[in-house]
A and B are shown apart, each in its own frame.
Chain A
Amino acid sequence: MIGQAGREKCDDVLVQVNIDTSEGIKVDIESKVKQLFGKQIEQSVKEVLYEMDVKNAYVTLKDEGALDFVIRARVKTAIKRAKGGVK
């Protein structure tokens, strides 16, 4: 089950969440600011996964300079889409 949200456009981030895994949480980040903010981005992703009770997921992010609230929103939407049934 894979969910995707966001875009590879300025101030946005393309997030893909695969919850069809049993290997815990894995986060892959592609970002120009990964060196500076990679850890914070990963932390935000993990917080959203925790809030939404997701224990196993492979998350990829293609970041184009998204602010923290945008990253959180995109991860949230991608999880909901992966789970399905959300309008």
Chain B
Amino acid sequence: MKKLRRTMMFCPASNPKMLFTAQIYNPDCIIFDLEDAVAYAEKDSARDLLCEALKVVDYGNIEVFARINALYTPFGETDVRELVKAGLKNIRLPMCECSEDVQKLERLIEEVEKENGIEIGTVKIQCAIETPKGVENAYEIAKASDRIVAISIGAEDFTRSLGTDRTKAGRELFYARTRVVIAASAAGVDSIDTVWADVSDMEGFTAEVRDAKNLGFSGKSCVHPSQVKEVHRIFTPTKEEIGKALEIICAAKEAEKMNLGVITVNGKMVDFPVIQKAERIVALAKGAGVYKEEE
């Protein structure tokens, strides 16, 4: 079953409590942040905390990522060396601009895997695209390594690099967001939408999550536990959608037996793309645990 990445909840790795409570909010993924959320003087202590947490805390089925510091900073390489050794399986690479950035990280990961007797290829990568150059190279980045499971758009750094501000309407992000979705889809990896920083504005957040789903994103970054439920609600198929999808799949199977091509279900034409969409809905529902085969 495909791993769902509807929610990626950011938590500062410098906060001891978050390291053992983040999982109670049940996001699909947790990103423990060693980068922007951690003060320069505490980079080392946050890394040590996360290493020790990874050794003992049971995060269950939640996929745990660490947002490392960029490899051009004094901390990035040590982040990779110590965290992979401690058992980290997923790394989010910030400020990724080209395939060379990914390959540099890949070489380092492979070296650390070899040094520690970890099977080569164990550690997966998510690339954060946060600059205009990164957006232009989105497909190249998404295809740069077999380790890549997702690419994401980071709006705050992107708008800063572009010399503009983030607005509620988000027109300044439209091209970058769609570019990331299409690059990810073409490369066969997940696409994760940017954060919504104004935690108090749930209405604006909901609108952006719906927009992200409609654009084709696989999931959304969250900065607060309260955002997780809302993303899951929007990204998880409803009972009605699941019912319709099952009806289409069932009719398609019958049509196949009778060697029929195009069929109609409830008066609507059903062809191959419609069947594939229905199958995707059922797969999503299974992944989210809201539908089981025997139902």
CA distance A85 to B53 in the complex (A): 24
Q: Is the CB of A73 within 8 A of B45?
A: yes
Q: Is the CB of B16 within 8 A of A66?
A: yes
Q: Is the CB of B75 within 8 A of A87?
A: yes
Least Cβ–Cβ distance between A86 and chain B, in angstroms: 6
Residue from A6, A72, A81, A87 in contact with B52 in the complex, judged by beta carbons closer than 8 Å: A72
Q: Is the CB of A69 within 8 A of B57?
A: yes
Q: Is the CB of A70 within 8 A of B44?
A: no
Q: Which residue of A lies closest to B57 (CB)?
A: A69
Q: Which residue of A lies closest to B56 (CB)?
A: A69
Q: Is the CB of B53 within 8 A of A69?
A: yes
List the count of A-B residue pairs having beta carbons below 8 Å apart. 49
* Cβ of A1 under 8 Å from chain B: no
Contact code string A19-58 (vs B, CB < 8 Å = 1, else 0): 0000000000000000000000000000000000000000
* Cβ of B3 under 8 Å from chain A: no
Least Cβ–Cβ distance between B187 and chain A, in angstroms: 34
* Cβ of A74 under 8 Å from chain B: yes
Contact code string B97-122 (vs A, CB < 8 Å = 1, else 0): 00000000000000000000000000
* Cβ of B78 under 8 Å from chain A: yes
CA distance A75 to B16 in the complex (A): 14
Q: Is the CB of A74 within 8 A of B44?
A: no
**Complex contacts, A72 vs chain B, CB 8 Å:** 52
Residue from A12, A69, A86 in contact with B55 in the complex, judged by beta carbons closer than 8 Å: A69
CA distance A11 to B20 in the complex (A): 10
Give chain B interface residues in 117-140, CB to chain A under 8 Å. none
* Cβ of B17 under 8 Å from chain A: yes
* Cβ of B49 under 8 Å from chain A: yes
Q: Is the CB of A87 within 8 A of B74?
A: yes
* Cβ of A62 under 8 Å from chain B: no
- Most chain A beta-carbon contacts within 10 A, residue among B16, B44, B48: B16
CA distance A12 to B49 in the complex (A): 11
Q: Which residue of A lies closest to B69 (CB)?
A: A87
Q: Is the CB of A11 within 8 A of B17?
A: yes
* Cβ of A8 under 8 Å from chain B: no
Least Cβ–Cβ distance between B44 and chain A, in angstroms: 6
Residue from B20, B44, B51, B56 in contact with A87 in the complex, judged by beta carbons closer than 8 Å: B44
27 A-B contacts (beta carbon < 8 Å): A5-B48, A11-B16, A11-B17, A67-B20, A69-B49, A69-B52, A69-B53, A69-B55, A69-B56, A69-B57, A70-B19, A73-B45, A73-B51, A73-B52, A73-B53, A74-B45, A74-B48, A76-B52, A77-B45, A77-B48, A80-B44, A80-B48, A86-B44, A86-B78, A87-B43, A87-B44, A87-B78
Binding site for A on B (CB under 8 A): 16-17, 19-20, 43-45, 48-49, 51-53, 55-57, 74-75, 78
Can you name 7 extra interface pairs (CB under 8 A) apart from A73-B51, A74-B48, A77-B48?
A11-B16, A69-B49, A70-B19, A70-B52, A73-B16, A80-B48, A87-B78
The 9 closest A-B pairs by CB, nearest first: A73-B52, A69-B52, A77-B45, A73-B48, A73-B49, A70-B16, A11-B17, A77-B48, A87-B74
